[in-house]
Amino acid sequence: SQQGEEDPQALSIQEGENATMNCSYKTSINNLQWYRQNSGRGLVHLILIRSNEREKHSGRLRVTLDTSKKSSSLLITASRAADTASYFCAFSGAGSYQLTFGKGTKLSVIP
């Protein structure tokens, strides 16, 4: 399987703390994306980082990409209860239209 792998599978933190989740993949990629899914809902795109970028910020989100290690991390700073959701990385392989997802990290932010 070419699925990405994320860790941890589940993460529970207090409101105000930072949350870090990691994603590893096996192929060469065009880009890596992070999505969020609230319980029972569809996925919502958060941020995209291109293969030639190393770090990207969007509000309280910070994404890093290390193509030599085939890994990415998503940092959510100053977490809020509303950040409680599952987070998925997704990537498209070089020259491919397929968008492959990881298995996700379930984040719980305790008020």
Partner 1 sequence: NAGVTQTPKFQVLKTGQSMTLQCAQDMNHNSMYWYRQDPGMGLRLIYYSASEGTTDKGEVPNGYNVSRLNKREFSLRLESAAPSQTSVYFCASSLGQRNTEAFFGQGTRLTVV
| 33 counts as binding partner 1 under rule CB under 8 A | yes
Q: Using CB under 8 A, pick the residue from 42, 68, 69, 111 that binds partner 1.
A: 42
| 10 counts as binding partner 1 under rule CB under 8 A | no
Give the tokens for residue 62: 């910070």
Contact predicate 44/35, CB 8 Å: yes
Shortest Å distance, C-beta 33 to partner 1: 6
Cβ closest to partner 1, residue 95 vs residue 111? 95
Q: Using CB under 8 A, pick the residue from 3, 18, 27, 58 that binds partner 1.
A: 3
| 50 counts as binding partner 1 under rule CB under 8 A | yes
Shortest Å distance, C-beta 15 to partner 1: 26
Residue 21's contacts (CB-CB under 8 Å, 6 or more residues apart) are 6, 7, 8, 11, 73, 74, 87, 105, 107
